[in-house]
Amino acid sequence: MSLASARHAFASFMAWEAVTSLGESAAETALLLRAGLSNVCASRFVDGAGERVRMCAAPAVPLEIGGLDRAAALASLALGRLAEAIDVKRQAVLLLALPDSYGAADAAFARSPHGRSFLDTVRRSLKRAASLDIEIFPFGRAAGAVALRRAVEFVDQDRLVIWGGVDTMYDWTVLETLERDDRLLTAENVDGVRPGEGAAFVALGPSATRGIHVVGIGAGREPSPVGSGKPCRSLGLTAALDAAVAPLRDAGRRSNCWLLDTSHEAYATQELQNVIARFGDVLGLEAELHMPLKELGDAGAAAMPLLAVLGAEAWRLGYANDDTAVITGCSKDGARGALLLAADSFHRTEMAA
């Protein structure tokens, strides 16, 4: 898919919502995150050393609920709130980013009994919609970019489009895999992932004269992802960012706001260091590199929609440090995604140029 220049927006945000380990809404999450809070607690899960796994779990969902049922509950909470803010009484489509394990474990997830139950729960949260088509993208953290490219196609068809994702690591199967791969953050293993969860969704419409706009989308693949045993070359993330920030380069602009899905892992830090060196021409001179997943916990497939929602809240509440925001998403299998969002002032300036 060819990317447009800064003179054109793919789509505009109509409304957004999220549920995280800090808040039951996007506004609550943004407020508490800015206040420097986190919700890292000992969970009911015990690791191989006999210690309780510390993670970030959403207080909005009872702790006795785990796994796929928990993911369904998180998605329903966020979508139910979003439905209150938009007109869903027409044909809608939901582009849903999911963990890559859903696709790997069962290629026919949507047709399996547990998959159908999950999607039925999600549909009920948008019961006012005249009809709801759901397309799933089980590609992990980078799934948001793939799903958003598909969302743009539906926006062009004048469909009501909801783009987002849900994921939870409040599941022993997931935690066991992280521990087996030596990727679980513990007191003894500081080079690991802090387990988390979340759901975030955005209602998208045609490019508007006011609001928040999607102006860049990119995807790539890292040939040496985490766990490969080979040095990180950051080729996939570089390719994704090259495509996403093309409007900045076309306009001779920089962005001071970077919302990155970087975790506590040394691999992620190395990947970021490589990328920053390559994007000095669009990195703002007063750039702030935000890494919310360190406080919120790894939100997995919900990461890119969640970072987009946090950027939208910053503009809505007036504390954003720029009128553009760069967002990244990096899946464990090497898939990479990047987005460029722009607020009114950037969009209006470039449209008038």
pLDDT for res 163: 98
What integer pLDDT is reported at residue 314 of this predicted model? 97
Of the three residues 169, 189, 205, the one that is the final residue of a domain is: 205
Q: Would you say residue 3 lies in a domain?
A: no
Predicted confidence at residue 139, as pLDDT, reads: 94
User: So what's the pLDDT on residue 349?
Assistant: 41
- The verdict on 96 and 237 lying in the same domain is no
How confident is the model at residue 5, as a pLDDT?
A: 36
**What does each C-alpha distance from 13 to 170, 190, 312 come to in angstroms?**
30, 37, 8
Residues 112 and 261 reside in one and the same domain = no
pLDDT value at residue 348: 41
79 vs 61: CA distance, rounded Å? 14
Give pLDDT, residue 231: 87
Least confident of 38-47, 126-135, 332-341: 126-135
Residues 101 and 198 occupy one common structural domain:
yes
The answer on 129 and 25 residing in a single domain is yes
What pLDDT is attached to residue 352? Answer: 37
Average pLDDT of 181-207?
94
User: pLDDT digits over 144-183, tens only?
Assistant: 999 999 999 999 998 889 999 999 999 999 999 999 999 9
C-beta of residue 19 within 8 angstroms of C-beta of residue 25: yes
pLDDT of 213 > 60? The answer is yes
List b or e across 285-312, with b for residues whose CB sees 16 or more CB atoms inside 10 angstroms.
Answer: eebeebbbbbbbbbbbbbbbbbbbbbbb
Measured between alpha carbons, how far is 130 from 339 in angstroms, rounded to an integer? Answer: 30
In a domain, 321, yes or no: yes
What does the buried/exposed string (b/e) look like for 327-346 if buried means 16 or more CB atoms within 10 Å of the residue's CB? bbbbbbbbbbbbbbbbbeeb
For residue 30, tell me if it sits in a domain.
yes
Q: Are residues 113 and 176 in the same domain?
A: yes
When pLDDT is cut at 50, 70 and 90, the band that residue 107 belongs to is low
Q: How many domains does the chain have?
A: 2
Q: What is the pLDDT of residue 347?
A: 43
Same domain, 230 and 127: no
The pLDDT score that the predictor gives to residue 171 is: 95
pLDDT at 283 over 80: yes
Residues 104, 42 share a domain: yes
Domain boundary (172, 205, 238) is at 205
Do both 20 and 79 map to the same domain? yes
Residue-wise pLDDT for 227-282, tens only, equals: 898 988 999 999 999 999 999 999 999 999 999 999 999 999 999 999 998 999 99
Please tell me the predicted confidence (pLDDT) of residue 105.
56
The answer to whether position 1 is within a domain reads: no
pLDDT band at 345 (very low <50, low <70, confident <90, very high): low
Residue 5 lies in a domain: no
Residue with tokens 């062009």: 156
Q: Give residue 2's pLDDT.
A: 26
Identify the pLDDT of residue 353: 38
For residues 241 and 176, membership in a common domain is answered with: no
- Report the pLDDT value the prediction gives residue 8, as an integer from 0 to 100: 63
- 19: domain CATH number is 3.40.47.10
Is the same domain home to 247 and 135?
no
Calculate mean pLDDT across residues 285-303.
97
Asked whether residue 107 is domain-assigned, the answer is yes
Domain termination site, one of 175, 205, 235:
205
Q: Is residue 43 part of a domain?
A: yes
Distances (CA, A) of 352 to 3, 6, 9: 19, 11, 13
3-state helix, strand, coil in the chain (%, to 5): 40, 25, 35
HSE-up of 316 (CA within 13 Å, CB side)?
Answer: 16
Residue 282 is predicted with a pLDDT of 98
Same domain, 219 and 195: no
pTM reported for the whole predicted model = 0.94
**pLDDT at residue 91 is higher than 90:** no
Domain that holds residue 223: 213-352
Judge whether residue 346 has pLDDT over 80.
no
In this structure, the answer to whether residues 87 and 160 fall within a common structural domain is: yes
Answer whether residue 2 is part of any domain.
Answer: no
pLDDT tens digit sequence for 306-327: 999 999 999 999 999 999 999 9
Averaged pLDDT of the chain: 91
Task: Please state which of the ranges 67-71, 105-109, 207-211, 298-302 shows the lowest mean pLDDT.
Answer: 105-109
